[in-house]
Amino acid sequence: MPNEPLKVAICGASGYAGAELMRILSGHPEVEVVSVTSERSSGKSPVELYPHLNKYAYLSYEPLAPDILAEKADFFFMALPHKTSQPAVALLYKEGKKVVDLSADFRLSDPLVYERWYKTPHNHREVLRKAVYGLPELHRAKIKKTGLVANPGCYPTGAILGIYPALKSGLASPEGIIVDSKSGASGAGRQADIRFSFCEVNEGFRAYSVASHRHTPEIEQELSAIAKKKVTINFTPHLLPVNRGILSTIYLKTAKKTSTENALGVYKKAYRSEPFIRVLDPGALPDISAVRGTNRCDMAIKLDERTQTLIVITAIDNLVKGAAGQAVHNMNIMMGFPEETGLDQPAVFP
Amino acid sequence: MPNEPLKVAICGASGYAGAELMRILSGHPEVEVVSVTSERSSGKSPVELYPHLNKYAYLSYEPLAPDILAEKADFFFMALPHKTSQPAVALLYKEGKKVVDLSADFRLSDPLVYERWYKTPHNHREVLRKAVYGLPELHRAKIKKTGLVANPGCYPTGAILGIYPALKSGLASPEGIIVDSKSGASGAGRQADIRFSFCEVNEGFRAYSVASHRHTPEIEQELSAIAKKKVTINFTPHLLPVNRGILSTIYLKTAKKTSTENALGVYKKAYRSEPFIRVLDPGALPDISAVRGTNRCDMAIKLDERTQTLIVITAIDNLVKGAAGQAVHNMNIMMGFPEETGLDQPAVFP
Amino acid sequence: MPNEPLKVAICGASGYAGAELMRILSGHPEVEVVSVTSERSSGKSPVELYPHLNKYAYLSYEPLAPDILAEKADFFFMALPHKTSQPAVALLYKEGKKVVDLSADFRLSDPLVYERWYKTPHNHREVLRKAVYGLPELHRAKIKKTGLVANPGCYPTGAILGIYPALKSGLASPEGIIVDSKSGASGAGRQADIRFSFCEVNEGFRAYSVASHRHTPEIEQELSAIAKKKVTINFTPHLLPVNRGILSTIYLKTAKKTSTENALGVYKKAYRSEPFIRVLDPGALPDISAVRGTNRCDMAIKLDERTQTLIVITAIDNLVKGAAGQAVHNMNIMMGFPEETGLDQPAVFP
Amino acid sequence: MPNEPLKVAICGASGYAGAELMRILSGHPEVEVVSVTSERSSGKSPVELYPHLNKYAYLSYEPLAPDILAEKADFFFMALPHKTSQPAVALLYKEGKKVVDLSADFRLSDPLVYERWYKTPHNHREVLRKAVYGLPELHRAKIKKTGLVANPGCYPTGAILGIYPALKSGLASPEGIIVDSKSGASGAGRQADIRFSFCEVNEGFRAYSVASHRHTPEIEQELSAIAKKKVTINFTPHLLPVNRGILSTIYLKTAKKTSTENALGVYKKAYRSEPFIRVLDPGALPDISAVRGTNRCDMAIKLDERTQTLIVITAIDNLVKGAAGQAVHNMNIMMGFPEETGLDQPAVFP
């Protein structure tokens, strides 16, 4: 006899991450989406905003009312803007609900770092202390036991996964790390803004938030924990004229003599049991188009022998492994579902 | 206790339609893909050509050897070029295998029409007589009983589905039908051809095969059967700078006084039990991006009162409803599986 | 000794048509741009909005003050929204200034038709009576003598040019004309609107304003004048995921027995002296990428003998021949400059 | 009285760089293109391959016959593949013709370096010694006097221009330089190759030739000359799904304490007289769409104070400043024409 489905609510479900949660959960056999919230689209059906979500014709967006929602659902995906997420997450968590928060509000364990980069106070520090940074490949054991997961940012996901084995193994130095990332336009969210209008993005390419992007401290927090010392990095995001995908090109100085084969061995070993990481064989290089719509992270490692630089390239779908897919992966771990449940479909290519 | 899976072979599996069959079948619970063929890529793994198909690392492309294949598999998807398909399909069909042929070789019931448009003889007329044109919305009963389905062309699928209810009901005249279609570049297949290189397609848009495209007689064959008289149409295909999708704008002269509401009613009724057709409500218009990766056909109907023209707009994914998805739908019908099996995932949007 | 340059003002110069006027005029040897207006961007330099317009660093956007502008400039390009354009154009015209109006306000000679389609009164009917519809290929003689040109809409330009020779010559019937047009996203203007954000347009394709687009009466007005009887057409616009370009596929019923060769002869003769029209040889078909950035209209003509339908396909750049380029062409004619001045650069391809 | 135009031949004119030379030269008042060569397209008109080049209907592609060409033309643009270019350039140069070679054959002053990276012998070393590396901003004086310019590669142009002022001034260290570049698909040339077909590039993004691209030694040669010591760099090229443009993100370690303002001052001073370089003001960042179709290089400089890394971002059009435009600039310098002749049109945006 099948179990009763888990009752799930998605708060902030009118944006792309929320819509992607709906898409993924529509194929998840253990879950029933019972509520979706949106202030601006309150009263509308998700199908009005997203014609592809016709399976959700039975739902209407509701305004965010955490206490009412707490009666309806047992598991919460929070896809609200940062700052707005703080009190809603805190309330639901204190009610004993399980929560995956896709905002930045519970990612940085040091509230002062949060306040410096996000320019807003953190008013729920006691809840922050309970949150686990939800990168399963690094923190699976803790995720299993927590009631609150801070789902990683899209850029940090691709960056940290690309650096972790080299740093952990001592192959790479924690000094002078450079992360040069390129993201599709859905990373900017669903918004009316001339800078993200079709004609301004299409056939263009540009960097933005140079030396100032808010995902920087998040990457540094995790790398520092791995290296067991304070790590400071260069991170440069760019806007790609595609809908989805982040490719990160990472430059690591070697800490000891190595080779491409040796480095590859370290990465393959580190990720050998990971269902969503694929370390490519020598010669192959990742393309964002091969992970589109999936929770996979493809990566390649190559040593530039002339400069003793390890070049790691990672590709993810920013809306899936970089947001909604990783959130569902975290839910699967928290709830004891098989980790790939709902997340095992191949990319739609071309 | 679960049934033993159906053993499936895909012949001509190195092209986009073949790859799409693999993608869809990877999520089909009743099926096991036991063989994939390709002459040019013989010996390679599908993953080498298509990194997103990592679930098929266990397979290698084999050369097409129908008698050997007949030992291995019970159900065949044939995605070979027209002409090449004829003998392979004939042999497998005569062996008692169930076959869905994605080529044009068994679509036109009159071999003379085939020979006129395809400039090659039809050498398997007795098999041709057994073939059923695999548009489930029109021919479900026959598909159920046949061993050989000729899977419709991508353009004909969107065109015929858009015209069928109006013509069948007598709402539209069979005279003066115009089908103006726009297709994504995957419709041209996976090929090295300057005309389909990125720079020649991107930021461009053009018509091609004006008044001479081979899908014309296929559309006319089906419309003639519906109208019970010979129908001749105008069909103009265009090349869109997108990967997937066909939008067809269809102009029909009304045969009697009607209204948008009335026409919509006729369409909604005609397709009310169809799992893959969605007739949009007034005001909504289909977009290829809402059906990307799915087997759905979205459509809108509007009467231009000033000219008494019924304008029907249909959107499909050329590789799914226009090829691999419809082929799997046909298999589901032929094998008695629930029709949506393997075909119920939402579009990946954006 | 060179002439003193013509002093030109561009009103409503923060949109794409205004920017395109600046781009084109930067290479026009007879002209000096002395003022550009914009309410929202008042005080800013055009370079802030459009980094490619660095030649205009000497200018700042001013608010629209027609009487002040009348002191500064002698020739006016008006790229204001419809309705707003009416009083500004009227005032400048009455001051004796030469004006090319890119809005819809003076295109429809019958003010009642304007009021029906644009849902706003026409308050300057006496000025309207003076306006000449600025399609040089049809109205060159009148443009030469007028002080006020109503620059055609983008869709009407490609549609009328494609129909004119066939209708004028009696080759085509004025009944049952269908214009199926596909436009790049710059046709929607520079605006913050989710519907035109990158992710909602890219990899998508859709029709819009079916049987209700405001360019319909404009096309009908000109076709009626050519046919010397009231012409009613079907016009369906679509949104292409490209920056620039309109391709119109036009279906005309033949009025007498003809052939592709004969029809081509009629078109080649009609446009033999036109500097911006290129009638392609048999076999060639236009692509919007070949006219990008230019004032050219490429076209192909083919008879579908099976249905006796003449298919005409025209390609223009919506911002150039469909807006700013045609406006400059009109200025050249009005001022007696050689017609190609400033407009003779090849497309930027790829 | 105007001068007689310079008679120009373009060898290898069927590719994108050759076509771009034709486009640019069509607006150059001092030049007449008298011959274009292509082996594969011999006998065809350039208009057949490139409908936008209708001004060249008077020409047909000829096979490459240097001695015949030497009779016809006085100035040669060579856009042949490397290796093929060597003998043709050598012959023409020895005939006393002025030559700009767009291939790699005469860029690397050390023939051994050439042979190591290009895997082919250099058979014209005495001519190689005469060649000047044609980056006008660095070598204007030598270009003025030479008969043979080796036109820089597209990536090296954007990279060297972005590093030159910082390295020359001692602001940046020559150690640990990283160049992360992203190029549009026209950089791969006009070719039939599945890897560059529309569907394989569109909505994708990938690195290629990691730690092994042939433009690496070219960048290093010029940086070494500036630094007066051997410089070794990391260079990673990526393929962007756009037609044109290269954005290079460059990471330089500071050699002394500095600030963004100070660094900007160094760059503005270095390029203050350069007609094609624009150093952007603080806050602005370059976009490839703002230089499309132009010979301009836009750049931004920002110090990351946390890591003392100078981040320089440069944007060029790979076919113009990265190929044909720079070649024409070199011709202008060699012939004493004003440097901006034929190169002063704004970008076509959007």
Q: Looking at the complex, does the CB of residue A3 fall below 8 Å from at least one CB of chain C?
A: no
Instruction: Count the domains in chain B.
Output: 2
Q: What value does the mean pLDDT of chain C take? A: 97
pLDDT over threshold 70, residue B105: yes
pLDDT at D120: 97
Q: Looking at the complex, does the CB of residue B348 fall below 8 Å from at least one CB of chain D?
A: no
pLDDT over threshold 80, residue B3: no
Residue A31 backbone dihedrals phi, psi, to 5 degrees: -130, 145
pLDDT tens by residue, D136-180: 999 999 999 999 999 999 999 999 999 999 999 999 999 999 999
One domain for residues C164 and C101 = no
What CATH code is carried by the domain that includes residue C19?
3.40.50.720
Q: Looking at the complex, does the CB of residue B196 fall below 8 Å from at least one CB of chain C?
A: no
Tell me if B140 is assigned to some domain: no
Q: Which residues of C touch D298 (CB under 8 A)?
A: 51
One domain for residues B75 and B190 = no
Interchain contact, D53 vs C346, CB within 8 Å: yes
Mean pLDDT of D214-231: 98
- State the smallest CA–CA distance between residue C190 and chain A in angstroms: 7
Q: Which residues of C touch B280 (CB under 8 A)?
A: none
One domain for residues C184 and C54 = no
What CATH code is carried by the domain that includes residue D201?
3.30.360.10
- State the smallest CA–CA distance between residue D125 and chain C in angstroms: 35
One domain for residues D11 and D45 = yes
Interface confidence (ipTM) of the complex: 0.97
A154 belongs to the catalytic site: yes
- State the smallest CA–CA distance between residue A34 and chain B in angstroms: 18
- C254 band by pLDDT with thresholds 50, 70 and 90: very high
pLDDT at B301: 98
Tell me if A314 is assigned to some domain: yes
pLDDT tens by residue, D252-271: 999 999 999 999 999 999 99
Distances (CA, A) of B127 to B122, B130, B147, C321: 10, 5, 10, 55
pLDDT over threshold 80, residue B65: yes
Mean pLDDT of C199-228: 98
Mean pLDDT of D51-71: 95
Say which of A11, A154, A199, A297 is annotated catalytic. Answer: A154
pLDDT at B237: 98
Say which of B11, B154, B199, B297 is annotated catalytic. Answer: B154
One domain for residues D54 and D162 = no
Q: Which residues of B touch D186 (CB under 8 A)?
A: 199
Q: Which residues of A touch D283 (CB under 8 A)?
A: none
pLDDT tens by residue, B244-269: 999 999 999 999 999 999 999 999 99
- D36 band by pLDDT with thresholds 50, 70 and 90: very high
Tell me if B225 is assigned to some domain: yes
Q: Which residues of A touch B19 (CB under 8 A)?
A: 349
pLDDT tens by residue, A172-195: 999 999 999 999 999 999 999 999
pLDDT tens by residue, D291-321: 999 999 999 999 999 999 999 999 999 999 9
Domain boundary among A130, A147, A167: A130
Using H for helix, E for strand and C for coil, what is the string for chain D?
CCCCCEEEEEECCCCHHHHHHHHHHCCCCCEEEEEEECCCCCCCCHHHHCHHHHHHCCCCEECCCHHHHHHHCCEEEECCCCCCHHHHHHHHHHCCCEEEECCCCCCCCCHHHHHHHHCCCCCCHHHHCCCEECCHHHHHHHHHHCCEEECCCHHHHHHHHHHHHHHHCCCECCCCCEEEEEECHHHHCCCCCHHHEHHHHCCCCEECCCCCCCCHHHHHHHHHHHHCCCCCCEEEEEECCCCCCEEEEEEEEECCCCCHHHHHHHHHHHCCCCCCEEECCCCCCCEHHHCCCCCCEEEEEEEECCCCEEEEEEEECCCHHHHHHHHHHHHHHHHCCCCCCCCCCCCCCC
pLDDT tens by residue, D282-292: 999 999 999 99
Q: Which residues of C touch B208 (CB under 8 A)?
A: 285
pLDDT at A3: 75
Its domain, for residue C233, covers 155-318
- State the smallest CA–CA distance between residue A44 and chain C in angstroms: 16
CB pairs under 8 A between A and D: 147
pLDDT at A282: 95
Q: Which residues of B touch A52 (CB under 8 A)?
A: 289-292, 294, 346-347, 349
- B2 band by pLDDT with thresholds 50, 70 and 90: low
Q: Looking at the complex, does the CB of residue D232 fall below 8 Å from at least one CB of chain A?
A: yes
Interchain contact, D211 vs A244, CB within 8 Å: no
Q: Which of residues 96-155 of A touch C (CB under 8 A)?
A: none
One domain for residues D165 and D311 = yes
One domain for residues D93 and D191 = no
One domain for residues C172 and C281 = yes
pTM of the entire predicted model? 0.97
One domain for residues D206 and D302 = yes
One domain for residues A160 and A286 = yes
CB pairs under 8 A between C and D: 72
**For chain A, where are the alpha helices, taking DSSP H only?**
16-25, 46-49, 66-72, 85-94, 111-118, 125-128, 136-145, 154-168, 198-201, 216-227, 260-270, 325-335
pLDDT tens by residue, A107-160: 999 999 999 999 999 999 999 999 999 999 999 999 999 999 999 999 999 999
pLDDT over threshold 60, residue B16: yes
Distance CA A40, CA B186 (A): 37
Tell me if B329 is assigned to some domain: no
One domain for residues D178 and D211 = yes
Mean pLDDT of B153-169: 98
Tell me if A347 is assigned to some domain: no
Tell me if A13 is assigned to some domain: yes
Mutate to test the interface with D, among B195, B198, B203, B205 (most CBs of D within 10 A): B198
- C3 band by pLDDT with thresholds 50, 70 and 90: confident
Q: Looking at the complex, does the CB of residue C71 fall below 8 Å from at least one CB of chain A?
A: no
Q: Looking at the complex, does the CB of residue C3 fall below 8 Å from at least one CB of chain A?
A: no
Mutate to test the interface with A, among C49, C195, C197, C206 (most CBs of A within 10 A): C197
Interchain contact, D241 vs A238, CB within 8 Å: no
pLDDT at C2: 61
pLDDT over threshold 70, residue A81: yes
pLDDT over threshold 60, residue C1: no
* Other chains touching A, judged by 3 or more CB pairs under 8 Å: B, C, D
One domain for residues B162 and B119 = no
Q: Which residue of C has its CA nearest to A186?
A: C199
pLDDT over threshold 70, residue D1: no
Q: Give the nearest partner residue to A205 out of D208, D234, D240, using CB atoms.
A: D240
Q: Looking at the complex, does the CB of residue C70 fall below 8 Å from at least one CB of chain A?
A: no
- D2 band by pLDDT with thresholds 50, 70 and 90: low
Mean pLDDT of D199-212: 98
